[in-house]
Chains A and B, each alone.
Chain A
Amino acid sequence: MSAIEVKAPRQGRAVAGRLGLNLLTYVVAFLAFFPILWTLLTAFKTEANAAAIPPVIWFHATLDQFRAVLDSNYLSYFENSAIIAGGSTLLALLLGIPAAYSLAFNPSKYTPKVLSWVLSTKMLPAVGALIPLIIIYKRVGLFDSRFGMILLYAAFNLPLVIWMMRSFFADLPHEILEAATVDGAGFFRIVTLIVIPLTAPGLAATILLSTIFSWNEFLMAVNLTSANSGTLPVFISGFMTSEGLFWAKMSAASTMAVAPVIIAGWLAQRSLVRGLTFGAVK
């Protein structure tokens, strides 16, 4: 009897503590997400409501700001971003998957050296390469071209593709690959018929991460593009001088630029840590 009497309040306290922690977690999650939520809400306001003090929480939602954004040259920036992010990811995959295959399945004594060199290209500051890129891109006609940005971002994402895909390839059950080799399949058939289908979730995560990085990149975009091939970060940075006048429009443009990336990021969640740490953490 006495044991139960002692135990009951303790359990009660443990339950209360757990509920308290749960509540704290929900509050923290809400606060972390709040700037995104607030931007989303502001995108549906009129300009007057967007800068109102005190802030307006209940309002008649309007799509005017989205219309205004679409009527500006936003779509051409969006198109540039989509083509550059997609093209650079594709090029990085074309170069990176064979390399990852070779590093995963045919390791040699140079493999660790090659892998750490590949990683080291990610560690040096991009700004150190900026000046020659500006000068050479202007000289060879790649300045302010989508193709030039595709070439550059493909190189930036190549280490990610090599490291991530190598780590996914190395996880494959070797019996399946062995059977294919016995059947006489070569590199191309093994990759397209066995390796890619079996690592599809990992490949999808790699594609999403590479696309996100290209989509959000700003330093090179602002220095190497202009009217023809400007990407969304460049378009958004144009709002930096707007003082109180175009907040709703700014929020609508921001929402449209960020929403696809957040959704893509959520889809890639399971392999996110592996990608962000270059396979160090699984």
Chain B
Amino acid sequence: MGGIGAFLAMGGYAGFVWPAYGVAFVVLAGLAAHSAWRYRQSAVTLDRLQQAHGAKR
């Protein structure tokens, strides 16, 4: 228990170390999630358009 507590305390620098890792995680994971979401959207849109296009011919 003391081990975990000491780990989280980061030698008194918890208020700086954890926010630093947090910011990096939020920004990079957010970018990854947004990129994946946009990719999915673009694939769905393209698929729909291609089907509509194919149906007309």
Same complex:
no
Interface residues of B (CB under 8 A from A): none
